[in-house]
Amino acid sequence: MEIPPHTRLVALLGDPVSHSLSPRMHAAAFRARGLPWVYVAFRVRPGDLGTAVAGLRALGFAGANVTLPHKVAVCQLADELDVSARRCGAANTLVFSEGRVVAFNTDVAGVRRALDEEGVAPWGLRVAILGAGGAARAACVALGEAGAGVVTVVARRPAAGEALCARMRDDFPRTRFEVCPFEDAALRKALREADLVVNATPVGMYPKEEESPVREATWLRPGQVVFDMVYNPPTTRLLRLAQQAGARTVGGLSMLVHQGAESFELWTGSPAPTDAMKRAVGLLPAGV
């Protein structure tokens, strides 16, 4: 592909990346703003992340998005972490400026704005977060900032869950953070008690759309909100089970758009065209 002069480049680094809607979404955003920018996706193995980041910086890229499994590791490669990335201990956006790498976590804003759009106010709520990785860290920070009452981190590796909770307790002493093992009985109890359930694992993501971190609709209940951070497919098996249980659902596409909008603004300095980004991923019909 020939790159025209004066074109700015940004990248997505992850493994896998073939499922990602970010290239389509950001291409639409650049077109809407008339910016000569190009967004490309690179599959990067964990052992090659340092080389990849150094290569982007050497090639003059303006920045990058970082997705699974690199959100925690990339923090060690940055020269500076903003408040969101420092609180999370994870980053999903890099800005290359004057030879420095600055890391941000725009997933925090993505979680908060996705819930805002659905009228979900986390203040005082009991929340169950499934997972203890980079996405779960962003969810914990967003919910701590919003004043959630109790956040239960359901983790397959209890040590990782406890480390995450300990980190959050220091920053958000008014929210109670606790750990729950990812075992059927404990999971069912945590889910039934929660006002808001957040799936921060990749379970259910394309191409394994028929998987779910929750086995049965009876594990959920009417009146609660179930938010799946997975966006491909737009309606995951978890969300279908939640609908069967009578719960309200929030899909991951809204979070994708809002975290992407903040990344766009960090890179370009221009307001993000969120409607164009929503149309690109199917949240708005064409022409709206």
Strands 93-97 and 100-104: antiparallel
The whole-angstrom separation of Cα 188 and Cα 216 is 10
pLDDT at 286: 82
The answer to whether residue 123 scores a pLDDT higher than 60 is yes
Please say if the pLDDT value at position 1 is more than 90.
no
- Tens digits of per-residue pLDDT, 15-71? 999 999 999 999 999 999 999 999 999 999 999 999 999 999 999 999 999 999 999
Q: Work out the average pLDDT over 163-169.
A: 97
Q: Which of 71, 189, 208, 278 is catalytic?
A: 71
The answer to whether 8-105+254-281 and 108-250 have equal CATH topology is: yes
Q: Tens digits of per-residue pLDDT, 58-115?
A: 999 999 999 999 999 999 999 999 999 999 999 999 999 998 999 999 999 999 999 9
Is 71 a residue of the active site?
A: yes
Domains of the chain, residue spans: 8-105+254-281, 108-250
Residue 21, C-beta contacts closer than 8 angstroms, at least 6 positions apart = 231, 232, 253, 256, 280, 281
Give the per-residue pLDDT at 270.
97
- CATH (one of 3.40.640.10, 3.40.50.10860, 3.40.50.170, 3.30.930.10) for 8-105+254-281: 3.40.50.10860
Read off the pLDDT band of 288 (50, 70, 90): low
Architecture of domain 108-250: 3-Layer(aba) Sandwich (3.40)
Average pLDDT, the chain: 96
Q: How many whole angstroms separate alpha carbon 139 and alpha carbon 129? A: 8
| Strand, coil or helix: 3 | coil
pLDDT in tens, 182-210: 999 999 999 999 999 999 999 999 999 99
pLDDT of residue 3: 67
- At 63 the pLDDT is 98
**Predicted structure pTM score:** 0.95
Which strands, in side-by-side order, build the sheet including 225-228? 176-181, 150-155, 126-130, 196-199, 225-228, 248-250
